[in-house]
Amino acid sequence: MVQTPNIYCLVKGAAEGRTRLNAFDNALLEAGVGDTNLMRMSSILPPAALQTEVTDLVLPKGGLIPLAYASIDSTTPGRLISAAIAVGIPEDDREPGVIMEFEDHAQLSNVEEIVRQMVIDGFEYRNRKLKEIKSIGIEHKVERCGAVFAAAVLWYR
């Protein structure tokens, strides 16, 4: 049986690279999760999970790390790319929260506005009361080949 994560952190990174995959990998390194294997998951925050900083996480090198993330890349110089993630915290900490992610060729303010509304909608669909929204995002103007990445990393105390 897989243990349920009880902490989470929000991370972000933007980078250039020789190829799209190199740019994505460099963005992961900037976000602090570059030496792990990402396990992309659907967007539910475990009940009563506590927020922490990426510097407080002890992620095993090469470990399988569950996270929800937004990512976009481009090879068009001058193009703006943005990614954001938002976490909805329920009023009742026995209930799970909601994590939403969004990326686009747009300004970060637009992307964050959309992802935060997605959280509000997710709570409405579930008939849960929303206590708080926490979000993080990043934008990048592509020089040659760029990528952005924003994630909610789930882990264990």
Catalytic residue positions, numbered: 37, 42-43, 101
Please state, in angstroms and rounded to a whole number, the distance separating the CA atoms of residues 45 and 120: 14
Contacts (Cβ under 8 Å, ≥6 apart) of 2: none
Helices (H), the chain: 20-31, 108-126
8 A C-beta contact, residue 152 and residue 120? no
8 A C-beta contact, residue 92 and residue 128? yes
8 A C-beta contact, residue 80 and residue 143? no
For residue 18, the one-letter residue type is: R
Name the percent of the chain in helix, strand, coil, to the closest 5.
20, 45, 35
Please state, in angstroms and rounded to a whole number, the distance separating the CA atoms of residues 35 and 29: 7
